[in-house]
Structures are given as C-alpha cells and as structure tokens.
Amino acid sequence: MEKNDIKCPKCGSETRQRKKGFTHAGSQRMLCCDCGYKYTPNPKQWGYSEETRKRALQLLALGNTGRGIGKIMNMSQSNAYRWAKEEAAEEAKKAPHGADPIEID
Ligand SMILES: [Zn+2]
C-alpha cells in the first residue's frame, strides 16, 4: 500500500487530507478535512526554479524583452512577461509610501 505522507501544516493531521484541484502553476492543492485548511504541499513556480526566475528577471532588468528572454532561457515568453508583472507588483508593495512609482516598460 502506498503511504500518504501528506500532513496538514496547520493542525498536523495526516488523515482526511483530500486532493483539492491544482494551483495555477500545476501543483496539487490539498484540503484538510479536519480543520478546513487548504495548502500546497509541493508548490511550483511555473515549473521553473527560483534561480531560473531570478535570472530571467535580471535579463529583464538589463532591458531584454519577454521574447528575448524566452529565447535566451529556452522558456515561454509569456512566462517571462508574467514574472515581470509579478515582480512589478512586488516592488510596488515594497515601495515606501509616497515614493515615486517604478516605471516598467
Ligand atoms: Zn488540518
């Protein structure tokens, strides 16, 4: 029998852990039926590592387009665009109140 190692990160229950669809990145989402907590045991970043993502963002910062990055890194250009968008949103959150907005073109 296959052992289910999935454990609820909130209440620690190892039973009644139910599959609950997938995240946008394709990771399995789980639902704990004991406490109702939803979680992702093995989250993915669009199937790419954090290293890859950082490198793509560096290339973006250097003025590469999503298309160019897609070619350089052998990934989908929409992926690079999405990361750029996410990064811009993150930066906007981090920026102190009243600071000039960062222009992303
Ligand atoms: Zn739980």
Per-residue pLDDT at 64: 86
Query: Does the predicted TM-score (pTM) go above 0.95?
Result: no
Asked if pLDDT for residue 3 goes beyond 60, the answer is no
What is the number of other CB atoms lying within 10 angstroms of the CB of residue 2?
A: 4
Asked if pLDDT for residue 16 goes beyond 90, the answer is yes
Ion ligand 1 contact residues with beta carbon within 5 A: 8, 10-11, 13, 32, 34-35, 37
Q: From the CA of 40, how far away is ligand 1's center (Å)?
A: 12
Name, in order, each residue with C-beta under 8 angstroms of 54's C-beta and a sequence gap of 6 or more: none
Calculated CA dihedral for residues 71, 78, 46, 55, nearest 10 degrees: 50
Query: Which has more confidence, 1 or 16?
Result: 16
Q: From the CA of 71, how far away is ligand 1's center (Å)?
A: 43
Check: CB of residue 29 under 8 Å from CB of residue 23: yes
* pLDDT tens sequence across 44-69: 655 677 788 888 889 888 988 888 88
User: Which DSSP symbol is given to 71?
Assistant: H
Q: From the CA of 14, how far away is ligand 1's center (Å)?
A: 8
Residue 102 corresponds to which tokens in the numbers above?
């960062």
H/E stretch holding 55 = helix 50-61
Q: From the CA of 96, how far away is ligand 1's center (Å)?
A: 36
Q: From the CA of 44, how far away is ligand 1's center (Å)?
A: 21
Q: From the CA of 5, how far away is ligand 1's center (Å)?
A: 14
* pLDDT tens sequence across 67-79: 888 888 888 878 8
Q: What's the rounded Cα separation, in Å, for the pair 66 and 31?
A: 35
